[in-house]
Amino acid sequence: MYINITICFFCLTLIVFLLNKISPHPLLKLFQNWFRWITFSLIAGYILETTTWSSRPLWVHLSAGFALWFILETALYHFSIQMFNLSNIKLFPQYEKDTSQNLWPINTRALKIKEWINEHSFKPRVHLKAKLINEIQIRQAVYLNEEKSIQLNVLFVPQAKENIQIYFSFLSNFESGECLLTDNQNMPFGGYYPKNWQVSRWPLSNSLDYLFKTHIKKMEQKNLNLKIKEEDILYDTNLRQTELEKVNRNLGFMNQPQQREIISTRGCFRVWTEMWLLAYLGGTLS
């Protein structure tokens, strides 16, 4: 019975892994993480049970396997955070105009996104890029709706094996100075946002339409006068980057510029926490 359950979870992990390779989705990745953790715990418990290394009850062996995976993955997360922290990657890079024409990847999903943008009357305004390190760049296409009250940012983030991950964010400003941001980024941030920002992150959503409807609903709940976007988008984008960096330095998430490490010890703990939340609960820090 025990070995059958172990094989079952191993097969589930493999199936979800293959499905996520064929058609990537954040929800499949979350299930994959849980099945992998449970499978590891079952295998560890089975080894302890059959080798008689321990005479304790089965639930103790399973708990030990569960805890061991937590320790191993925590060590991996801390290693990746420290590697990032000692690199020359900019946490809040400044953007510049992107004149390249090959911004969009050529695939079915990109075509559907373009169709949705056209159907909802979002007009292209500018292409931007920001250098992270060496030749690695984040690029984004910026659109505005007809009323110029909602800005849509389509973010292109390079992944392994030359793959491109696409994220979306909707941005609206109010005359009161408040900023409403709705996005689906599932990259760990862990930092702080300015008090006048209301940020809603939906890392398990790949639906541009769902994010748009959620943003519209939050705009209506605000019941405030919208600010029409007339300013330069590049200037506005870099202003937000500067504001984010200032807030995170003031609140202790980032170290001062003269220090080698980008993120403080407190900040590293917040990033680690958000990595766990994203991996196993699909959530982020508030």
User: What predicted TM-score, i.e. pTM, was given to this entire model?
Assistant: 0.88
Q: What are the sequence ranges of the domains in the chain?
A: 2-85, 96-280
Position 54 confidence tier, pLDDT thresholds 50, 70, 90: low
Q: What is the pLDDT of residue 162?
A: 62
Q: How confident is the model at residue 106 (pLDDT cuts 50, 70, 90)?
A: confident
Question: What tokens does 177 get?
Answer: 């100075």
| pLDDT tens-digit map of 113-145 | 999 999 999 999 999 999 887 777 889 999 999
pLDDT digits (tens, 9 = 90+) for 205-252: 989 999 999 999 998 888 777 777 767 889 999 999 999 999 999 999
Whole-number pLDDT of residue 230: 66
Q: Are 127 and 154 a contacting pair, CB within 8 Å?
A: no
Element (H, E) at 153: strand 151-158
Tens of pLDDT, residue by residue over 169-180, are: 999 988 888 999
> Of 224 and 183, which is predicted with more confidence?
183
What's the whole-number mean pLDDT along residues 77-92?
87
pLDDT band at 14 (very low <50, low <70, confident <90, very high): confident
- 262: how many CB neighbours lie within 10 A of its CB? 20
Using CA atoms, how far apart are residues 106 and 117, in angstroms rounded to an integer? 16
Residue 126, SS3?
strand
State the pLDDT at residue 159: 74
